[in-house]
Structures are given as structure tokens and as C-alpha cells.
Structure 1
Amino acid sequence: MKSIWLSQLVPVITLFHTVCVRGDGKGMIGFGITMYDPPCAHACRNVIKSCRLSCTPEDTTANHGTSHQPIATPAKCFTTDPTFLRTMALCIDTYCPISDDPSLDVIHDFWASHLGPGTVGDYSNVPTASYEDALQAARGDETRLKNNGSMQHREGHHRRLKVRHGGHGEEEEDSTGDIGILDVSSSLPIIEGGDPLNVTSFIDPEEWRVWYNGLVNFEENEIGHVQYSLIITLVAILLPILIAAFTWIPGLTRSRPWLYVQTRLVYPAIFKGYHRVPVAGEIQPNRGQALFIILLSILNIIFLVAPYIIRQPQHNFPSRDEQELSIIGNRSGVLAMGNAVALFLFATRNNPLLYLTGWSHGTYLLLHRWLGYWTLFHTVLHSVMLLAYYKTYGTYSKEIVREYWIWGIVATVAAVAILPTSLLAVRQRFYEIFLASHVVLSLIFLIGYYYHIWFCYQHRWGYEIWAYIAGGVWGTDRVIRLCMVAIRRKRTAVISFVPDTDNEYLRIDVEGVSVADGTVYLYFPSLGWRFWENHPFTTALAAQSDDEAPATVDEKTGTATATASSTSTSSSSSPMRHTTTFFARTRTGMTSSLSARVLKSESARLSILMEGPYKHSGAASKLSHCSSILCIAGGIGITAQLPYLRHVPSDVPTKLYWSTRKAGLVNAIAPALQKLPSNVEVETLVSARVDIDAILEKELSIGVDAYSGTLGIVVCGPPEMADRVRQKSVQIAQDIANKRDFVLVDEVFSW
């Protein structure tokens, strides 16, 4: 068990540490990566990066910047042009002491790594002059002009700096953190963005100010995007572990307060008792699942609308409305991937949380769907908000032909297309189409997102890490699954109808293999062209003799399916021959195709592949402290009950109530029932329903048959039966003073 979740967890951890991110650090913005360090120096460079230098190529179409901020000057030109170096040094010495006040080491690092490339640090282009040499030369130019009487006077300023070089000047900061009006002067000519830079110049204080505000504010909000997305991811992944940790407290799960919480906040359905019976075309969560979903939804809503930091005036966004439209669009894009990471993890069959929390695979699949809704919402909102932004404030006609925009549309369309192909009606009626489209569209979404980031930022800011983690989780799960299939190797299955069931049930005997308890997925590549199709079967029996073929149950769409394992010998001297037997109810899709094969003859032989076994229900840990067990099964759901019944301790009184419409199924399962432990009482009904209300009233009463302690209730059968057991047991338990504690296990697999 540990090896399974560790094999899933290790690659994910490795991705966090080994993914190479170009930029100022490794990781994500605010968590290992800094965008503008120090902002004052980056603001200086941004003012004059568009100025034409003496070494700037003439009539060139090459872009040495970004798609949104193109630069005609190559990096080497910036690091070798003496005028640019002097102007930059003077600007840093003027504005940094009155804003960020960075240390000299920070300035030296900026000088060595950012003068050429700009935003992203790169030490390959070393400046031809040091910061101190360039500053000394700029001061010399300034002094000579001043002595020659060429000092330029600036008017309309409110104050002057007390200290210019090497000290701290005064600064004003408004309620948004904006640095106030700066009164600085120089004998050098004032340079503004876009002007030719031919002589050592002084950067206009207002231009520097709006650039500084824009850079600081942009990084503040980008840190927020990452921070809040990480919170959603970590809450979704770690909260189940925290909740499960309460069950490790000795005696807590046997206490009355625990029963009170379970019967009022966890077990009840949220809508008129319907949980497994679909409402509004979809399976609804119970209260416990709903509370988890509500928490994640509240976090998604809060982090989408706030908090944001607004600084005005600034260069990036001339107006508050423009800035809000952009940052909300950007926030929603990052939140989409925060949800997507947990979404991909919850869908995997090798999800380590299954073993850490004891939650069922069905629960994680339900949460997977709700995380999918939020991922889709944020993805669409991101596209709509930025479409509106570029339509209103930007250059929409230029953006739509850029590669980052095209790949963003690809990811958005894929996310939208997943929704209709994942509806319950499609999942149940066209399972094969759902499975194939879900995998393909999910991969297109990830690929589209990755290239959207690559063409927009390359590997500057770590946003591609979201795709690495989600893709790594998905890929690791697939590799483990392939290894499981390879270990089992190709097998031959004999398929036939169960006698006296009007061809409603199939028997699948897999030769040469014995499967332990757990869920197994079967592939039928020789059945048709849908080679990827696979269906889950849960183990029902251990070793059986050849004349006592085990029984299992198909749980493709919410009606449980099970597998059974058997070993047989033809004589006492012959070697042991293993056979694993599955029972499946004929429905649409794969079982319908198998039935058609069998109708042509009494049986059919097909090549199959096996994946598993998994232990996904979490039932064993929930039932471990129960003093007695009550199993209620309907139809082929009986085979999902047998694993618990075979292994119940001899001192735990256990009862099984099973109803089915087909006597032939009873005959097929009878040998397994006869070999159950002696403390298991079995009552079988044919063409009659189990009186759920009367049974629960009796079994949940304190003192019945001298029972005491916690009752484990396991139900597996039609959705109506399962919902009635849930509703009635919760209703009875409301009278805590006179009723027993209980644990409810709804054994079901459902997409």
C-alpha cells in the first residue's frame, strides 16, 4: 500500500525541486522568484529601454523584448553603450535611496544581470563598465555641464531632495503606497522614453515614478495570484488529511459527539434524501462532501474578488478601471490552474490521499467534478476578461494572431468541451466516448495552457510549473497503471451467461491468474477498436475450488461490480490452477458487446488485460472498530459485500440481507455464501425487497441481541436502496439517547 502512494508522491515532489525556471530564482513569483529586484533600478531601465542608442540596429524588425513590450535594442548593446550605462547609474543613484534603498550588493547584482536582458536575470552579457565607474563618469558629465552654466532648471515642484548621492531623501506615499511627487534636478538634459539617447541624461522623475508604481504594483498582485492559488491547492489536498487525522484520536470515533457530527453534518444527503439517485441530471454530494465543496467554493470566490492592490498613477494601467479588468482576468487564470492541480490528483487511481485519508475513490471523483467546474469557470473568465481588456484598451487585432493568444483559445475551448461530454447521461450511456474524450480534451487543455504561458512569458515566472505538476501527476498515474497491466500480462477470458438469469448476467473467467481483494480494471482490446476502454470490478472472494467459481460484480456506472478469485485442482496430485471469475450485469457499451459475442455461441474466448488490484473504498478502516456489522445488498451488489464478510473477526456478530430478482444469481453465489464464517447470518430474498426500515429500526436499537458498541452498516445495490438506507439510518440516529452509534459505508463506484 505504501509503495503505491509513495510512487505517486515522489515524482510530484521531484517536479517541485528539479523543474528549471529561468528568472530571478526558481519556483513561482513570491515563492522563490522575484520579478523586479530592486524595483527602483528596473524602473530606470524601463524608462529608457525604448530609446534608440548608438548601437541600436537600423530598420530592424527583431524583437529583443516581449510580445507586449517589444525592444529593438539587443542585450549586448545595452551593456556596451557608455551613454546608456552612465544614464542608468545616475538614475539608480538618484531614485533608489528615496524608494527601495537597496544594498550595494543588490545594485551590483542588478547591474551584472539585468542591464542587458532587462526583467529576467542573465549574467552572460557583462557590462563594459562597473556601476561605480559609470556613476563616476555620469557625475563628471553632470559637474562639467553645471560649471559651464548649462544647468537646466525645473519648475513647478513642491520640494527638493535633501540628499542626492549615497544618502536617503524624503518621500511621500499616498494611501495606495504610491511614492509622491519627486523634486529632483540635474544639469544634464532630461530624457524620456522613446527619445534618442546620445548623451548622458537625467531620467524624468514623473516617468520614473509611473514606471516604479507599475512594476511594484504588478509584482504585488502577481504574488497574490500565486499565493491564493496555492492556498486553494493546498487546502484541497491537505484538508482531507487533517480531517482524517481526527479518526486517529483514541476513542473519538466511538463518542457521542462524533456520532452527532456524522449523522447531522456528514451522512445526510443535501436534497430530499437523494445522494446516489441523480438530481437535476447529476449525482449530488452528501452533507460532508457538500461542506468541503462549499469551503473550496468560498475560497475561490473570495480570492477572485479580493484582495487586490491598486497604485495610481502608473505606466501599466493609466486608469483604475483598466487595471481592475486586467488583474481580475490574470487572477482567474492562475486560480484555474490552482484548482486544476487538485483536480488531476483526485481523478487518479493511484491517488496517495486514498490511503492517507480512507476516503473512497467515489468521493474523490465527486470532488474532482466540482473542482472541474471551478477550473472551467476561471478559465472562461480569464479569457473573457482579457478579451474585454484588449478590446477596450489594447490592440486586439494584433493580439489575436499571436501564438500565446491562439494556444490560450485552444486551452479554453478544450476546457469548455469537457463539460458536455462529462455529463452523467453521457458517462452512463456512452462511457467509452466519455472516457476517450475526457483524456484527450484534458491533455489538450494542459498542452494549450503550457504553450500559452511559453509564448507569453517563456520560463520567466514559473507559471509553467502548474502544468508540470498537473501533467506529472497524470503521467505518473498512467505509468503506474501500465506497469500493473504489464505485471499481470495478457490473459484469456472465457465469457458465458449465468444460467437462469435470462441472459442478464455475464460470467467472465480469467485463466491463469489469482487476484486478491480490491478493485481490478479489465481491458478488452480484442473486443473492438476501443482498446482504451476499461471497467472496474471489485474483489469478492479469495481462493475457491474449480466447482465453486467465485462471483463478482460490475460497477461501471454506479451499480457495483465485483471480482472474485478462485484456485482449483483437478486432483490431489495435480498442480494448482488459478482462475479469477467476474460477474457483470449486461448493460450498454462493453457488456452489451460481450453479450453479443456470447449469443453467437454458448461462450466466447477473448484476450484481456488486467490492472490492479486497488483498495479504493476505504471501508476496511471505517469498519475496523465496529462491534457488529450489517450488510444490505441488492442484486449483483452482493459480491461487493463478500470481502468484508469473509474477513470479519469471529467475535463480531454480522448479518447479511440480500434481495435479487434472479434465482440463477443466487445459485451462482451460493457456494461463496456457504463458506462465510459461522458468525455471519445470511437472509436471501428472491423477487422480494428487503424491509430496510424494519431492519434498521431493530439493529440500531441499543441492547438488541446483547449487541453493544458501534454498528457498521454496509450497503451496495440500486441507487434507491442505498439512498433509503442512508436516509433511514440518519433519521433513526437523531434519537441519540436510545440508538446505537453507527458507521455508514455506501459501497459504490460512479463517475
Structure 2
Amino acid sequence: MNAQGSPAALAAIAVDNLLFSHYILIVLSAIVVSFFIYRIAIGSIRHLRTLTCLNNDTQRYFRTPNKIYGFIKQHLFYAPLFRKRHSRPVRAGPVDLGTLPTRLQGLLLIGIIAMNVVLCVYGIEWHGPLVTKLKHFRNRAGTLAVVNLIPLVIMSGRNNPLIWLLNIPYDTFNLMHRWFGRIVVSLVITHATAEIINMVVTGTMGEDHPSGFEIFQQTLATTRFITFGFVALVAFVAIILTSHAAFRHAFYETFWHIHVALVSLILAALWIHLQGLTQLNYVKAVIAIWVVERAQRLIILLYRNLGPTTTRANIELLPGDALRVNIHLAHPWIFHPGQHIFLTIPSIGLHTAHPFSLAWSETLPQLAPSPDLEKDTLNSDILSLPQTSLSLVIRRRSGFTNRLYTKCASAPNTRLSLPALVEGPYGGSHDFTSYGTIMLFAGGVGITHQLPFVRSLLAGYASGTVAARKVTLIWVIQAPEHLEWIRPWMTSILAMPKRRDLLRIQLFVTRPRNSREIHSPSATVQMFPGKPNVEKLVEMECREQIGAMGVGVCGPGGLGDDVREAVRKRQGEREVDLLEEGFGW
């Protein structure tokens, strides 16, 4: 046996592989620490800005941008990977191919992919015997595949601790999760290919040996280690194929069941495949993370929905293929603007959960403040108390929402009351309290994300706890009948103290039936036909900007891209931040 094939050399190879896997964990940890430091710095600046602006109506100092930071936001943080498209999905005919990352996300992904490629090939004995090269390359790729499972699984969880630690939305982690999945599958295929080639080459090295493919077939059938490695390979390939955006969006519930089943199969197969190897520790860590996260969700789900009563959903039909769902909770929750929940209605969708933005919430009657308190204090206090009911607006699509809509439409008086399970709340990473000027764009049911911000800012303005001096809500709808989706909640908002001093509402109806449908109730609530000119609206607001300006958007991808482009153009001229909400899945 030559030196490169000696036990000492093979032991050195194993150490190298583990060392390189540690490098991946170190680099990823360094990225997390960097983002955490950035989050602390930005959070501290915004907190000080809020305190400074509470009694300052001009806020001139905060209107002037930092040129360097503005350049970074324009060309890195807010910039799409190419030109303008980011939120709007890429399509090939009717097939949805998913969305493109931002420039910052793209650079991170390129760096992570390059790191894995370099670590996969660096230090391999490329000038040694073919068998030794294949074995080392095989082991390196397999080790890196297993260690990358750790960030892959962490980023998939709804209770991912990095979400609140870094104040980065789940949508971003979900994007990274999909790319880490592609990295892992690529490494697994590389690992398996090197192993199969090694068997075939070894089997053809002498006349007395059987053919290489016969050795591979025999080994696959008789060697437990190889058998379960092959099972894991097939499951990895299946999971990447069924996770394609076209399949995921068209058959979400089917995708979800297949995904969970394949993940379970992969972890079980890897457990057997790596018995006796140090790399099994990585698999144990992955299983622990996955099990703990799911156990945590189950415990929270049971606690939230079981009590003296159980959670129940009252559903009513709305115009425009929509439903209003009022959920009475078994236990009171505390909600924050921008959060969403996962709703399960067993009689409609069995155990599958679907995300929806929280549009409105109500305070427990027994916890309501005394009526002797001033009205502006009343509104502020109510929002900080636990809530006993919440409301959603659901637009009819396919799958779960279509079945729910059909059942409600056929019910007496088009109303239903069904047992439900609610999980959450999640999200709420955006905070507008430090901005003097705020623009909130909403498209369609995206209004449910913006309404709680409007309500909270009005309450904070009345009680003097936010920097806001101008809030503009811009809602784009297809028909005036869609106003019925939020009419009771908008009536409450319009009745809040000092509303006329702070809030302006602009409604854009893209498909009015006739001109008589378009009328503006007042100077602060205006209605217009057609689509908004986002660029012009943002430019006009910047001219009269008070303090720093925050721009939020939730709606179709095209609207998000228009708002992003308008905000990018203002960088360097004014202090303008983009706070976009998306639900990537």
C-alpha cells in the first residue's frame, strides 16, 4: 500500500474534511455576528431618533441623509440583482419560476456557493492515484453536504431564532433556505457520483475482477451503508424536484406533505448511512433542531387554542371573491403591527396551516381601561393589552382558500362558524415609530398588513409616543366593492383622535365600472381611477418630508418593484428607508 493509502493518510484525510466543515460553520457564524452588530447599531440610532423627535415637529436634522449609507442602500441593500425586478415573479409562459434575490442576497449566496466549491476541492490529492483522489473528494463532498444541513434546517423554521435576533423577515430566510437546499443536493450528488465512479473504476482494475457496474449493484444490494446512502440520494433528488416554484405554487398542500415525508426519510437514511462516523454528530444536531422546532410549534399550538373554550373562526362572504374571518381565541395574545398568523381549519384543510396577515384585533372587554381615561390614552392602552379576537381578509385562490370560499358561499346567509387552530404570531420586524413621514402602499389584500400600522401610528401620535407627523396610506384595488373588505375597521380608524392631523388616504381603483363610482369623501380621503404613479407620489412626499421617511409596501410583486425603484432614486437626496413585506414560500 502506498503512503497516500495508508491508515495514517486516511486518518489525515478525515481530519481535513472535518476541519473544512468547521470553516463553514465559522464563516456562517461570522456573517450572523456581523448582521447582529448592524441590527444593534441601526436599532440604537432609530431609538435615539424617536426620543429626539417626540417633541420636535420639524425634525429637519433627520431629513438630511448620510451620503455613504445612502449609496450603500441604493446600490446594495435595496438594489435588485438585475435592473428593476425583484418581487415580481419570473415566469416562463404560465409557469412561475420564483423571484430573484436582491443584490445583497445575491452576493451572500455567491459567496456561500464559492466557499463550498473551494472547500470541496482544496487540498485534494489531485496528483495521487485515482482511487485515493476519488475517496478524498467523495468524503469531502459528503462531509460538506452534511454540515450544510444545519443552516438549511435552521432557516426553514418559523421559530428560527435568527429572525428576532437579526430582525430579518422569514421571507429572506426562506429564500436562503431554498438556496442552501440546492447547495446540499449538489454536494450529495457529487459525493454519490464520486463513490459510484470509485466502485466502477475499482472493479475494472484487473482481469479477474467482475465489471464495475456489477460490483456497484452487488454492493448496493448487500451493504447497508451503501443501500441507505443511495436511499438518501434518491430522496434528496426528489425533494429538489418537488420544491420547484412551479410545483410548490400550483400544489402547495401536496408539496408540503411530500416535503415533510422526504425530510424524515433523509434524516433516517443518513442516520444509518453514517453510523460509526464523526459526521453523524452533524445529523444528530440537525435532527435535534428539527424536532425541537416542531415540538415547540406543537406546544404553542395546543396552548394557544385549548383552554376554557377552543378557538373558533366565524367566516362571512365579501364582494370580490373574498372572505372576512373573525377568530375568537381560546387565550388572549399580544399582537404587534405587521405580524401574521398560520390558520388551520381541520374541516376544510385537515392539519395544513396557511399564513395570513393580521388585519385587526380586539381587546378583551374585562381588560379594557376605565372609561374615565382620556380618549387618546384609551386608544394607545388598548393596543398594548392582550387581544381576545383577531380578523383576517382572505382572497379566494386555489386549494384551501377555494374550498373555504365554496363552503361559505353555500352556507345559510353565507356565514360559517368552524373550529380552528391558530399558530403565531410571527413577523412584525418593521417599526415605523422613528419616522416623521410615512408612506404605506398596499395592493389588494395587502391592506391587511398596513391597517395595524395606521392604527398604531394614530394611537401613538395621539399619546405623543411616536415621531410620525405625516402618514399617507395608498391602497390600490380593482373595484370599489373591495372597500367592503375593511369598512368596519376603516370606520374605527377614521374616528380615532387627531386622525385628520396625521392621516391621508388615497384610493386607486384600477377597473371602475363608471366614473360615478369614483368620488372623494373628503380632503383627507381621496379616490382616483387607474393605477398610481408611484414614482411621482414618492417624489411629491419627499418634497414636503418631515424628518426621516419610511416607505412600506405589501402587495403584488409589480407594486413592490415600483416602490423599491422610487425609494432607490431618492437615496442621497433625502433620508428614506424601504420596509417591504413579502411572503415567500
TM-score clears 0.5: yes
Cross-structure match for 1:322:
131
In the TM superposition, 1:137-216 aligns within 5 A as 210=2, 214-216=6-8
Instruction: State the alpha-carbon separation in 1 of the partners of residues 66 and 36 from structure 2.
Output: 16
Deviation at 1:304, TM superposition (A): 1.1
* Structure 1 SS opposite 2:123: coil
1:326–1:386 contact (8 Å) kept in structure 2:
yes
* Structure 2 SS opposite 1:605: strand
Please give the per-residue CA displacement for 1:576-620, whole angstroms capped at 9, x wherever unaligned. Answer: 994322210000010011011112221223221111112x25212
Deviation at 1:414, TM superposition (A): 0.6
- Which amino acid is 1:542 matched to? S
Matched, 1:664 2:481: yes
Instruction: State the alpha-carbon separation in 2 of the partners of residues 577 and 443 from structure 1.
Output: 37
Cross-structure match for 2:549:
711
Residue 580 (structure 1) aligned to one of 355, 372, 390:
390
* Structure 1 SS opposite 2:108: helix
Cross-structure match for 1:744:
578
Instruction: State the alpha-carbon separation in 2 of the partners of residues 237 and 426 from structure 1.
Output: 33
- Which amino acid is 2:579 matched to? V
Cross-structure match for 1:723:
561
* Structure 2 SS opposite 1:393: helix
Matched, 1:691 2:508: no
Identify the structure with bigger relative contact order (alpha carbons < 8 Å, sequence gap 6+).
Answer: 2
Deviation at 1:398, TM superposition (A): 4.2
Instruction: State the alpha-carbon separation in 2 of the partners of residues 221 and 577 from structure 1.
Output: 58
Deviation at 1:211, TM superposition (A): 6.3
Residue 414 (structure 1) aligned to one of 235, 241, 247:
235
Residue 356 (structure 1) aligned to one of 165, 173, 193:
165
Cross-structure match for 2:81:
270
Report the TM-score when normalising by structure 2.
0.78
Instruction: State the alpha-carbon separation in 1 of the partners of residues 111 and 298 from structure 2.
Output: 35
Residue 680 (structure 1) aligned to one of 483, 503, 513:
503
Cross-structure match for 1:162:
none
Deviation at 1:671, TM superposition (A): 3.5
- Which amino acid is 2:416 matched to? A
Deviation at 1:214, TM superposition (A): 2.1
Residue 533 (structure 1) aligned to one of 352, 360, 375:
352
- Which amino acid is 1:593 matched to? R
Seen in structure 2, the aligned counterparts of structure 1 residues 477 and 302 have a Cα distance that, compared at 3 Å, is same
Cross-structure match for 1:634:
443
Residue 596 (structure 1) aligned to one of 394, 403, 406:
406
Matched, 1:305 2:121: yes
Matched, 1:217 2:51: no
Cross-structure match for 1:51:
none
Deviation at 1:724, TM superposition (A): 1.2
Deviation at 1:630, TM superposition (A): 1.1
Seen in structure 2, the aligned counterparts of structure 1 residues 512 and 363 have a Cα distance that, compared at 3 Å, is closer
1:246–1:252 contact (8 Å) kept in structure 2:
no
Cross-structure match for 2:31:
239
Deviation at 1:492, TM superposition (A): 2.3
1:507–1:584 contact (8 Å) kept in structure 2:
yes
Deviation at 1:624, TM superposition (A): 4.7
Seen in structure 2, the aligned counterparts of structure 1 residues 527 and 671 have a Cα distance that, compared at 3 Å, is closer
Instruction: State the alpha-carbon separation in 2 of the partners of residues 626 and 309 from structure 1.
Output: 58
* Structure 1 SS opposite 2:442: strand
- Which amino acid is 1:613 matched to? P
Instruction: State the alpha-carbon separation in 2 of the partners of residues 487 and 658 from structure 1.
Output: 36
* Structure 2 SS opposite 1:257: helix
1:217–1:309 contact (8 Å) kept in structure 2:
no
Instruction: State the alpha-carbon separation in 1 of the partners of residues 122 and 179 from structure 2.
Output: 22
**Which structure has the bigger radius of gyration?**
1
1:493–1:607 contact (8 Å) kept in structure 2:
yes
- Which amino acid is 2:482 matched to? L
Please give the per-residue CA displacement for 1:471-496, whole angstroms capped at 9, x wherever unaligned. Answer: 11111111111111101224222222
2:219–2:226 contact (8 Å) kept in structure 1:
yes
Percent identity over the alignment is 24
Seen in structure 2, the aligned counterparts of structure 1 residues 222 and 491 have a Cα distance that, compared at 3 Å, is same
Residue 519 (structure 1) aligned to one of 331, 340, 346:
340
In the TM superposition, 1:427-576 aligns within 5 A as 427-454=248-275, 458=276, 461-489=277-305, 490-498=310-318, 501-502=319-320, 504-513=321-330, 514-515=332-333, 516-517=335-336, 518-528=339-349, 531-543=350-362
2:324–2:393 contact (8 Å) kept in structure 1:
yes
- Which amino acid is 2:531 matched to? R
* Structure 1 SS opposite 2:6: helix
1:492–1:510 contact (8 Å) kept in structure 2:
yes
Cross-structure match for 1:134:
none
- Which amino acid is 1:358 matched to? N
Deviation at 1:238, TM superposition (A): 4.3
Matched, 1:261 2:72: yes
Seen in structure 2, the aligned counterparts of structure 1 residues 577 and 644 have a Cα distance that, compared at 3 Å, is closer
Instruction: State the alpha-carbon separation in 2 of the partners of residues 742 and 633 from structure 1.
Output: 18
Matched, 1:279 2:100: no
In the TM superposition, 1:363-442 aligns within 5 A as 363-393=172-202, 395-400=215-220, 401-442=222-263
Cross-structure match for 1:183:
none
Cross-structure match for 2:150:
341
Seen in structure 2, the aligned counterparts of structure 1 residues 237 and 495 have a Cα distance that, compared at 3 Å, is farther
> Which 10-residue stretch deviates more, 373-382 or 533-542?
533-542
* Structure 1 SS opposite 2:159: coil
2:442–2:476 contact (8 Å) kept in structure 1:
yes
> Which 10-residue stretch deviates more, 369-378 or 489-498?
489-498
Seen in structure 2, the aligned counterparts of structure 1 residues 405 and 390 have a Cα distance that, compared at 3 Å, is same
Seen in structure 2, the aligned counterparts of structure 1 residues 397 and 539 have a Cα distance that, compared at 3 Å, is closer
Instruction: State the alpha-carbon separation in 1 of the partners of residues 328 and 456 from structure 2.
Output: 25
Instruction: State the alpha-carbon separation in 1 of the partners of residues 313 and 41 from structure 2.
Output: 46
Instruction: State the alpha-carbon separation in 2 of the partners of residues 449 and 662 from structure 1.
Output: 54
Seen in structure 2, the aligned counterparts of structure 1 residues 466 and 448 have a Cα distance that, compared at 3 Å, is same
Deviation at 1:212, TM superposition (A): 8.7
Q: Structure 1 unaligned segments of length 5 or more: list them.
A: 1-206, 313-318, 547-566, 568-575
Instruction: State the alpha-carbon separation in 2 of the partners of residues 511 and 439 from structure 1.
Output: 30
Cross-structure match for 2:523:
none
Q: Give the number of the structure whose residues are more often helix, by fraction.
A: 2
- Counting matched residue pairs gives 487
Please give the per-residue CA displacement for 1:152-183, whole angstroms capped at 9, x wherever unaligned. Answer: xxxxxxxxxxxxxxxxxxxxxxxxxxxxxxxx
In the TM superposition, 1:2-81 aligns within 5 A as none
Seen in structure 2, the aligned counterparts of structure 1 residues 234 and 588 have a Cα distance that, compared at 3 Å, is farther
Seen in structure 2, the aligned counterparts of structure 1 residues 669 and 544 have a Cα distance that, compared at 3 Å, is farther
Seen in structure 2, the aligned counterparts of structure 1 residues 599 and 247 have a Cα distance that, compared at 3 Å, is closer
Q: Structure 2 unaligned segments of length 5 or more: list them.
A: 47-64, 92-96, 204-214, 366-381, 462-466, 511-529
Instruction: State the alpha-carbon separation in 2 of the partners of residues 578 and 357 from structure 1.
Output: 29
Seen in structure 2, the aligned counterparts of structure 1 residues 237 and 505 have a Cα distance that, compared at 3 Å, is farther
Instruction: State the alpha-carbon separation in 2 of the partners of residues 680 and 476 from structure 1.
Output: 44
> Which 10-residue stretch deviates more, 301-310 or 509-518?
509-518
Deviation at 1:540, TM superposition (A): 2.8
- Which amino acid is 2:504 matched to? E
Instruction: State the alpha-carbon separation in 2 of the partners of residues 359 and 579 from structure 1.
Output: 27
> Which 10-residue stretch deviates more, 636-645 or 646-655?
646-655
Seen in structure 2, the aligned counterparts of structure 1 residues 429 and 237 have a Cα distance that, compared at 3 Å, is farther
1:541–1:642 contact (8 Å) kept in structure 2:
yes
